[in-house]
C-alpha cells in the first residue's frame, strides 16, 4: 500500500518515526567515530601529562635514580589520573629499560622512530599483537647522554570508554525517541483532525448542504484553508441565489416574446389584427422573434465562451481602430441624435477578430441605450504601454449596489434590465488576458478595457 493512501495522521506519524529512526542510525554511526577521536586526543593528553609529571619530578635526578623510580617498578602506585600509562626508557642509543614486556619488533620500531625524531616530543600509534597502542616519545638528557622516555596506553582503554559512553547515549536516545513517538501520535491526530473535518464539510458543500458556517479557531495554514472554504461556501450560496434569480429572469425574458408571438399568431389566424392591420401585427411578431433569437444567441455564445476558457483560441494580428470604426458606422444610425467623438490611435492587437467585434458591439449597444447626448470612444497606449480602450456616455450613473456585480452572468443590468452582453464582454476580454471595468464619472459612465500589447 502506498503511503499517500494511508490516513494523514498515520502519514505524519510515519514521517516522524522515519526521521527519528534515521537520526538514531546516523548518530549510531557518527557517535562512535566522534567519541574515538575525542578519546584518542584524551589518551595522548594523559600520556603527555604523565610524562610532564615524571620530568618535573625527576628533573634533577640522575638516570640511575630515574630508572629505579616507582614509575618503573609498579605503575599502579602512580597518581590515579595516569595509572594506566606505562613507560620505558631508551638510553645509550639502543638500550631499553622496561617495566613490562613488549614484543621486540615493536621495540625496534620505536627505537628507529626515536632515532629519526627531529622534535623533542611526538605522538605515535601502532599495532602490538593485533591490538592498537598509542605512545609518545619524548627526548631528554641524563648524565650528558640522550634519553628517550616512551609512554604508552593500550587501545582497550579507549574502547572501554567509547563503548561505555556509547551504550549510555544509545539507551538515552532510545528512551527519548520511544517516548517522543507517543506524543507524535497525538500531534498527528491534532494536525489531521481539522483537515478531516474540512473534508467532511467540503463533501457537504458538494451535496449543496452549505447552511452551516465553517469556523476554525486557528491562524495557521489550516485556519487559512478553512477561511478559503468558508469564502467558497458564501460564494456558492451567492451563486445559487443569483442562479435561481437568473433562471427566473431568463424564463420571463424567453416566455414573454413566445407568449406575444403565439397570441398574435392566434389572433391573425382568427382574422383579428392586434396592431390594426396585417403588416403592423406581423412586424410585432418579427420584433419579438428577433428579441427571442438574441436572447438564445447570447446564451449559446456564453456557453461557447465557457468552453473556450479551457481551450486555446485562434488569434491573428488585426487593426483594432479600424474594427471600432466599422462597428460605429454600422450602429450609429440607430441614434442619429447623438454627438459621437472618436479619438483612435492606429493600434494593432493579437486576438480573435469576431470576438472583439462582439465586445465592441455589446459595449456600444450599452452606450447607445443609456446615452443622452454624447458618446466618446478613445483608443491609446497607457503609461504601462498597454492598450487602453475607453467608452464613455453622458447617461445616468450606475447604482453603487450593482457596480461590482455588473459583469456577473447571474445579475441584472443597471436600471433592472436583464441582459448577457456585459457578461460576454467580460469573458472575451479575460480570454485575451485583458481586464475590463466600469466607473461612474463626474458626468456619465465609462467602460474601460486594458489589453496586453
Other C-beta atoms closer than 10 Å to the C-beta of 68 total: 13
Assign 416 a pLDDT band (cuts: 50, 70, 90): very low
The answer to whether residue 409 scores a pLDDT higher than 70 is no
Instruction: Check pLDDT > 70 for residue 80.
Output: no
| 251: CATH | 1.10.287.130
Q: Is the residue at 53 inside a domain?
A: yes
Evaluate whether residue 174 is within a structural domain: no
Query: Which residue range forms the structural domain that includes residue 7?
Result: 3-162
- Judged by average pLDDT, the poorest of 62-71, 137-146, 167-176, 369-378 is 62-71
pTM exceeding the 0.85 threshold for the entire prediction: no
| Among 301, 300, 288, 303, CA closest to 253 | 288
Q: Between 254 and 2, name the one with better pLDDT.
A: 254
Question: Is there a single domain that holds both residue 135 and residue 32?
Answer: yes
Q: What is the predicted pLDDT for the residue at 394?
A: 93
Give the pLDDT confidence score for residue 391 in this predicted structure: 95
Residues 148 and 284 in one domain: no
The confidence score (pLDDT) of residue 153 equals: 85
| pLDDT surpassing 60 at residue 439 | yes
Do 158 and 292 share a domain, yes or no? Answer: no
398 and 264 co-located in one domain = no
Predicted confidence band of residue 374 (pLDDT cuts 50, 70, 90): very high
pLDDT greater than 60 at residue 284: yes
Give the 3-state secondary structure of residue 98: strand
CA gap 328, 350 in Å, rounded: 21
Residue 436, domain member (yes or no): yes
Distance (Å, whole) CA 158 – CA 35: 9
Residue 202 falls within a domain, yes or no?
Answer: no
Q: Which of 13-22, 28-37, 107-116 has the highest mean pLDDT?
A: 107-116
Which set of grid coordinates corresponds to residue 379?
483608443
What does the buried/exposed string (b/e) look like for 427-445 if buried means 16 or more CB atoms within 10 Å of the residue's CB?
bbbebbebebebeeeeebb
Residue at which a domain ends, from 290, 308, 326: 308
Q: How many domains does the chain have?
A: 3
Decide if pLDDT at 9 tops 70.
Answer: no
Share of the chain above pLDDT 90, in %: 15
User: Cα(114)–Cα(179) distance, rounded to whole angstroms?
Assistant: 55
Same domain flag for 300 and 365: no
User: Has residue 25 got a pLDDT over 50?
Assistant: yes
pLDDT for the residue 81: 38
Asked if 447 and 363 count as a contact pair (C-beta separation under 8 A), the reply is yes
Give per-residue pLDDT as tens, 140-196: 876 667 788 888 888 776 777 777 777 777 787 778 777 777 777 777 777 777 777
- In sequence order, the 6+-apart residues with CB closer than 8 A to the CB of 342 are 324, 325, 328, 376, 377, 378
331 and 259, same domain (yes or no): no
pLDDT at position 384, please? 83
Question: Are both 268 and 370 inside the same structural domain?
Answer: no
209 belongs to a structural domain: no
Contact 302, 427 (CB under 8 A): yes
- The pLDDT mean for the chain works out to 79
Phi, psi of 2, rounded to the nearest 5 degrees: -70, 145
Residue pair 397/445 in contact by the 8 Å Cβ criterion: yes
* pLDDT confidence tier of residue 7, bands split at 50, 70 and 90: low
**213-263: per-residue pLDDT in tens?**
877 777 777 777 888 888 888 888 877 776 676 666 666 667 777 888 888
Answer yes or no: do 341 and 408 share one domain.
yes
Task: Give the residue-averaged pLDDT of 275-299.
Answer: 81
> Does 204 map to a domain?
no
Q: Is residue 305 a contact partner of residue 424, using CB atoms and an 8 Å limit?
A: yes
Query: In this predicted structure, what is the pLDDT of residue 242?
Result: 67
User: Do 72 and 153 belong together in one domain?
Assistant: yes
Residue 404, C-alpha cell as written in the block = 461590482
- Is 213 a member of any domain? no
First to last CA, the chain: 52
| Pair 18, 136 in one domain | yes
Alpha helices in 74-211 (DSSP H): 104-116, 155-206
Q: Are 205 and 230 in contact (CB under 8 A)?
A: no
CATH of the domain at 85: 3.30.450
pLDDT greater than 50 at residue 274: yes
Residue 22 has which C-alpha cell? 534515521
- The mean per-residue pLDDT over the stretch 89-101 comes to 74
Which of 137, 162, 187 finishes a domain?
162
Q: End of a domain among 162, 178, 197?
A: 162
Residue 7 shares a structural domain with residue 149? yes
Helix, strand or coil for residue 15? helix
Question: Cα separations (Å) of 51 from 112, 151, 270, 406?
Answer: 20, 7, 134, 95
The residue among 388 and 264 whose pLDDT is bigger is 388
Q: Hey, which of 210-219, 316-325, 360-369 has the most confident mean pLDDT?
A: 316-325
For residues 375 and 341, the answer to whether their CB atoms sit within 8 Å is: yes
Task: Please tell me whether residues 323 and 430 are part of one structural domain.
Answer: yes
Answer whether residue 108 is part of any domain: yes
Average pLDDT over residues 421-439: 87
Distance of CA 220 to the CA centre of its chain: 14
User: Is the pLDDT confidence value at 107 over 50?
Assistant: yes
Amino acid at each position: 500500500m502506498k503511503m499517500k493512501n494511508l490516513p494523514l495522521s498515520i502519514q505524519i506519524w510515519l514521517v516522524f518515526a522515519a526521521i527519528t529512526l534515521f537520526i538514531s542510525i546516523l548518530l549510531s554511526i557518527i557517535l562512535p567515530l566522534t567519541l574515538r577521536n575525542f578519546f584518542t586526543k584524551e589518551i595522548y593528553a594523559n600520556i603527555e601529562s604523565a610524562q610532564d609529571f615524571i620530568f618535573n619530578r625527576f628533573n634533577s635526578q640522575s638516570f640511575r635514580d630515574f630508572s629505579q623510580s616507582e614509575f618503573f617498578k609498579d605503575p599502579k602506585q602512580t597518581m590515579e589520573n595516569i595509572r594506566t600509562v606505562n613507560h620505558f626508557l631508551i638510553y645509550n642509543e639502543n638500550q631499553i629499560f622496561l617495566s613490562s614486556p613488549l614484543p621486540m619488533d615493536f621495540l625496534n620500531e620505536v627505537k628507529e622512530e626515536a632515532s629519526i625524531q627531529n622534535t623533542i616530543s611526538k605522538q605515535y600509534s601502532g599495532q602490538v599483537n593485533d591490538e592498537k597502542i598509542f605512545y609518545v616519545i619524548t627526548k631528554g638528557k641524563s648524565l650528558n647522554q640522550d634519553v628517550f622516555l616512551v609512554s604508552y596506553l593500550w587501545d582497550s582503554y579507549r574502547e572501554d570508554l567509547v563503548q561505555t559512553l556509547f551504550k549510555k547515549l544509545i539507551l538515552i536516545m532510545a528512551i527519548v525517541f520511544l517516548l517522543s513517538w507517543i506524543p507524535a501520535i497525538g500531534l498527528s491526530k491534532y494536525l489531521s483532525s481539522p483537515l478531516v473535518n474540512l473534508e467532511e464539510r467540503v463533501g457537504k458543500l458538494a451535496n449543496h448542504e452549505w447552511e452551516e458556517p465553517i469556523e476554525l479557531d486557528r491562524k495557521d495554514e489550516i485556519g487559512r484553508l478553512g477561511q478559503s472554504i468558508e469564502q467558497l461556501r458564501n460564494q456558492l450560496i451567492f451563486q445559487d441565489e443569483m442562479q435561481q434569480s437568473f433562471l427566473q429572469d431568463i424564463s420571463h425574458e424567453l416566455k414573454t416574446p413566445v407568449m406575444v408571438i403565439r397570441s398574435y399568431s392566434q389572433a391573425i389566424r382568427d382574422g383579428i389584427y392586434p396592431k390594426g392591420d396585417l403588416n403592423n401585427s406581423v412586424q410585432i411578431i418579427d420584433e419579438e422573434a428577433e428579441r427571442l433569437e438574441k436572447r438564445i444567441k447570447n446564451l449559446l455564445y456564453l456557453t461557447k465562451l465557457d468552453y473556450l476558457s479551457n481551450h486555446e483560441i485562434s488569434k491573428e494580428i488585426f487593426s483594432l481602430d479600424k474594427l471600432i470604426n466599422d462597428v460605429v458606422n454600422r450602429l450609429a444610425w440607430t441614434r442619429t441624435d447623438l454627438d459621437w467623438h472618436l479619438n483612435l490611435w492606429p493600434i494593432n492587437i493579437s486576438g480573435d477578430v469576431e470576438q472583439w467585434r462582439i465586445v465592441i458591439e455589446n459595449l456600444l449597444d450599452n452606450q447607445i441605450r443609456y446615452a443622452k447626448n454624447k458618446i466618446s470612444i478613445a483608443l491609446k497606449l497607457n503609461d504601462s504601454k498597454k492598450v487602453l480602450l475607453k467608452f464613455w456616455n453622458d447617461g445616468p450613473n450606475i447604482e453603487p449596489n450593482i457596480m461590482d456585480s455588473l459583469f456577473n452572468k447571474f445579475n441584472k443590468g443597471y436600471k433592472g434590465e436583464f441582459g448577457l452582453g456585459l457578461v460576454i464582454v467580460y469573458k472575451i476580454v479575460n480570454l485575451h488576458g485583458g481586464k475590463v471595468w466600469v466607473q461612474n464619472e463626474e458626468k456619465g459612465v465609462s467602460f474601460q478595457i486594458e489589453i496586453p500589447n
